[in-house]
Structure 1
Amino acid sequence: MSTLSLPPRLLMGPGPINCYPRVLSAMATQLVGQYDPVMTGYMNEVMALYRRVFNTSNQHTVLIDGTSRAGIEAVLVSALEPGDCVLVPVFGRFGHLLAEICERAGAKVHTIEVPWGEVFDPQQIEEAVQRVRPKLLAIVQGDTSTTMLQPLAQLGEICRRYDVIFYSDATASIGGNAFDTDTWQLDAVSIGLQKCLGGPSGSAPITLSPRYVELVRKRHHVEAGIKDSHHHGASGSRIQSNYFDIPMILDYWGEERLNHHTEAASMLFCARECAITLLDEGKDAVIARHKLAGDAMLAGIQALGLQPFGNLQHKMNNVVGVTIPHDVDGEAIRHTLLHRFNIEIGTSFGPLKGKIWRIGTMGYNARQDAVLHTLQSLETVLRQQRGPITGTPGAGVDAALAVYDENRQ
């Protein structure tokens, strides 16, 4: 077998993205034992770092070993018992994912929907909460399938008023858009590294409120046929997953260090570096950088005469949807960008499959040269394939440069 040799792709899709170089270096660090004081010290450090990433004081802020979907599943499977009522507002593909995971946990799932490209008004969600009376509200903050960002700030108060557990998947949005766990009164949040945090997929940071932890600790936990009195309560059934059993995972990360799994040390080092990179630059500065790159990409797309998708008032900073012109072969454009320019952009799912491109500006790639190179290459390919673009040659790059130049003033 030959040595790994990957093409030098510039990943400008909706994720994953190119990693920060320092994150890649951290993953190559040599290992120590999982209970070595050095290792447990780094685990404690990671918990403290991600409290700052999530803007929370939650003690229970840990990593789930696995992709971002592992974090979603751990939060939902540990909280939900068969027959529990869940409300999932769906405004894109990943709302449907949350609903499916809840259904697999045996919950009675109620969904409400808005057209793809829109988001929910808090009143719509409150009306559904009043009608459904769920145990848990599960909602995505940023759904890359539509590029929309759902406002969350008012939902926590609604959930507290109706005694609802409030969970959000912020994988695609955190780091590039504002997120405030405690102020927004979230009970559980899960994320991944492969978007604005500038890492690879493979570790899922989560943060859990005391209210959520109290709920899951009441669930039965059985190990080797013996009921553990530390976890069982008067109500509830056993958590159906061993790997995603959050009470067990919290004991592994807590002072007891009770054995549950062998921590994915290289991914922990990677997750640590993602958080440090974000905090060293400054959370507000990183959000501003993502907004600037996103604004420049949007301006360039519009200058080429291409139409952005969805309600731009609710667009994520870090990704833009572009309506594929009717007389253009969208997949042929993507193929040429990938194989001749080494640039990857995304298509979409479901009702938007083949109808929009999704162009991301995330993490390490939320920078001027990546934006300009992508716009210039996209324009070149469109002109070669006689796509219906307007403006003088270079109009997209010029518009993006104008956004960057205005920011410098």
Structure 2
Amino acid sequence: MLEQIGEIDPPQRLLMGPGPVNAHPRVLRAMSADLLGQFDPEMTAYMNEVMALYRPIFGTENRWTFLVDGTARAGIEAALVSLVAPGERVLVVNFGRFGLLLTEILERVGAVVETVDAPWGEVVPLEAIAAAVERFGPKVVATVHGDTSTTMAQPLDGLGDLCRRAGALSYVDATATIGGMEIAADRWGVDVVTGGLQKCLGGPSGSAPITVSAAAAERIFSRRHVEHGIRRDDIDDGLGVRIGSNYFDLAMIMDYWSEKRLNHHTEATTMLYGARECARVLLGEGLEACFRRHAAAGRAVAAGIRAMGLTVFGDDRYRMTNVTALYIPDGIDGEAVRRRMREDFEIEIGTAFGPLAGKVWRIGAMGYNARKHKVLITLGALEAVLRAEGFSSIPPGAGVAAALAAWTDSATA
């Protein structure tokens, strides 16, 4: 048995899909550090540093800025199950696969869900959200910032004010954009924002940064209740809290990230190290510089695609900077192209979901991979594979040349 199952030795693949991407070497090094106990003062000092590091990344002064142990979806689910009680109304701004995910999680919570929708490739106008809020009267409004299934980024200016006037809290899933596009929780006035490491932050999947406003924290803590005559403040094991989940109960998790350090679960120490280093790398580069790099990479990918005679999917005005979708040319087997990219060039590009399945590829240039040479290598490989698959109308070298010019123009703008 042992002879048949060897040491892990994955291929050195360039991950240029919608995520995950290759982790930054500094992050991987940080994750190889020795473990500490979860109440060790050095460990809790690292936790405090993580909270401080992620506040500027979320664009917030929120005291409650911390990590949920688990993939990005753990942060999404923790936010929703902690904010929403069964029977409460929630409005979901839906413009892609991950708006549907919010709906699915909320339905499991027992919420009464209504959606305000846009076709895939578009976003939902603020006026349409306002009309739905007025008609439906939700307790919470939930949306995705950047939906990688459609590559669109929902504008969020004004959303928080709209929700506050209606007496609603707001939730934003920023998994696909945090670290690559501006997240402005305080300026937007949104209450809870969650993210993930595995895209623009250049880390592995497994930790979900989150920020929670004072109003949302009040709502979360208010869901404590008296059970069998025992008040929550009289115990230290979390048994006085009841929501739909124990592991994802933010009130209990926040007690651990507070000065109380009340036990909830064993902290994922290695992932905390990784999340900490992701933030250090990003802030060391500078937020604005990182946003410019992602924008330059996105422009270069789109320019290269168009120069090869291919068509970019979606509304240019609202495209995410870090993921670009392109239509698969007629007569080309999309999965054969992806397979040859992987087998011949060790490059992964993405397929698609739902109504776009089999119609588009998705190319991501984010985090450690939002770099000029990686974009150029990917476009050059795509040209070679398309030619080999029979799409011979590409002007030789056009994609790489156009991407290089676009990147250069971005650097001098």
TM-score (norm 1): 0.96
Match of 1:228 among 228, 231, 249: 231
> What does 1:380-399 correspond to in 2, within 5 Å?
380-387=384-391, 389-390=393-394, 392-399=395-402
2:284 is equivalent to residue 263 of structure 1: no
Q: Distance in 2 between matches of 1:381 and 1:246?
A: 47
C-alpha offsets along residues 232-257 of structure 1, whole Å, 9 cap, x if unaligned? 9xxxx931211111111111110010
What residue ranges of structure 1 are gaps of 5+ in the alignment?
none
CA distance in 2, matches of 1:221, 1:286: 44
Give the aligned partner of residue 174 of structure 1.
178
Q: Corresponding residue for 1:40?
A: 44
- The SS at the match of 1:86 is strand
Preserved CA contact (<8 Å) 1:309 1:323: yes
Report the secondary structure of 2:62's partner residue. coil
Secondary structure class of the residue paired with 1:151: coil
Aligned to 1:239: 243
1:112 Cα shift?
A: 1.7
Q: Counterpart in 1 of 2:6?
A: 2
Answering whether residue 255 of structure 2 is matched by residue 219 of structure 1, we say no
Match of 2:377 among 349, 373, 377: 373
Pick from 89, 92, 103 the counterpart of residue 88 of structure 1.
92
Correspondence for 2:406 = 403
Q: 1:398 to 1:164 in 2, by over 3 A?
A: same
Question: 5 Å matches for 1:316-395?
Answer: 316-387=320-391, 389-390=393-394, 392-395=395-398
Q: Aligned residue pairs: how many?
A: 403
Tell me whether 1:157 sits opposite 2:176 in the alignment: no
Residues 64-95 of structure 1: CA deviation (Å, up to 9, x unaligned): 00000000000100111110000001100000
CA distance in 2, matches of 1:217, 1:25: 37
Query: Which residue number corresponds to residue 61 of structure 1?
Result: 65
Question: Which runs of 5 or more structure 2 residues have no equivalent in the other structure?
Answer: 236-240
Give the aligned residue type for 1:56: T
Secondary structure of 1:109's aligned partner: strand
Is the counterpart of residue 15 in structure 1 residue 19 in structure 2?
yes
Partner SS for 2:183: coil
| Runs of 4+, deviation exceeding 2 Å | 220-223, 225-232, 404-409
User: Residue 178 of structure 1: SS of its match in structure 2?
Assistant: coil
The structural deviation recorded for 1:10 is 0.2
5 Å matches for 1:98-247?
Answer: 98-221=102-225, 227-230=230-233, 238-247=242-251
Amino acid at match of 2:231: D
Could you tell me whether the CA contact under 8 Å between 2:226 and 2:232 is conserved in 1?
no
Give the percent of matched residue pairs that are identical in Structure 1 and Structure 2. Answer: 57
Between the aligned partners of 2:280 and 2:225, the Cα distance in structure 1 is: 35
- Asked whether the 8 Å contact 2:310–2:327 carries over to 1, the reply is yes
Deviation at 1:204, TM superposition (A): 0.3
Measured at CA, do residues 227 and 340 of structure 1 come closer, stay the same or move farther in structure 2, by a change above 3 Å?
Answer: farther
**Deviation of 1:389 (Å):** 3.8
CA 1:231 to 1:206, structure 2 compared with 1: closer, same or farther past 3 Å? farther
> 1: distance between equivalents of 2:343 and 2:234?
54
Matched residue type, 2:13: R
Asked whether the 8 Å contact 1:173–1:196 carries over to 2, the reply is yes
Secondary structure of 2:325 counterpart: strand
How much has 1:175 moved relative to structure 2? 1.2
Q: Could you give the per-residue CA deviations for residues 298-326 of structure 1, whole angstroms, max 9, x where no partner exists?
A: 10000000000000110000010001112
Q: Hey, what's the Cα distance between the residues in 2 that align with 1:77 and 1:56?
A: 23
* Structure-2 change in CA distance of 1:21 and 1:231 (3 Å): farther
Q: Check whether the contact 1:65–1:204 (CA below 8 A) recurs between aligned residues.
A: yes
The question of whether the paired residues in 2 share the 8 Å contact of 1:220 and 1:231 is answered with: no
